[in-house]
Amino acid sequence: MSCCRKKRFVVPFTKQFYHLRDLQKTGQAPQFGSYIYSARELYDRRILLSIDQYSPRQFDKLQITLSSNVAGVFNVCLESTIVGVTSRIASEDIRMDDLLQAKYEKRPSLSLLDGKVRVNFELFLFQINKK
């Protein structure tokens, strides 16, 4: 199956490039990819609706990582760099079955990370499928 997967080219000197390089150095590179986004970027694209205890002005100091090491299971991790050091706020595994159930129920939004993060469901699902 790995012979059929397209190898994605990552532009050097971007946040994604450094993220993947750091994962490879530590030997933690997920089998199905890992993508890092600033909360500001997802908020501007209307994927991210809100994060508890943070205002949209602080979103440039928050990072959301979507990764998958097992087919059909996605890990969502929220990290903060507000104090200058990266610290993990929350992390959760989301199954594709749960996302498909939410799509069947036609939910407009989805709560992640024990209700700390709210996302536009359709745009979030599109982003996962795109990557």
Sign, Cα dihedral of 107, 113, 114, 116: negative
- Single pTM value for the model: 0.77
Task: Convert the pLDDT of each residue in 48-98 to its tens digit.
Answer: 999 999 999 999 999 998 888 888 899 999 989 877 788 889 999 999 999
Using the predicted structure, report yes or no on whether residue 115 has a pLDDT greater than 60. yes
Using the predicted structure, report yes or no on whether residue 2 has a pLDDT greater than 50. no
**Angle, CA 116 vertex, CA 115 and CA 120 arms, to 5°:** 75
* Residue 19: pLDDT band with limits 50, 70, 90: low
Q: pLDDT: is 115 or 13 the higher one?
A: 115
d(CA 95, CA 99): 7
Beta strands in the chain, from DSSP E residues, in sequence order? 34-38, 48-51, 62-70, 73-80, 87-95, 109-112, 117-120
Q: What is the mean pLDDT of residues 117-124?
A: 94
What pLDDT does 44 receive?
A: 95
Per the CB < 8 A criterion, the answer to whether 28 and 93 are in contact is no
What pLDDT does 1 receive?
A: 42
pLDDT, mean over the chain: 84
d(CA 72, CA 69): 9
Which residue in the block uniquely carries the two structure tokens 């507000």?
A: 82
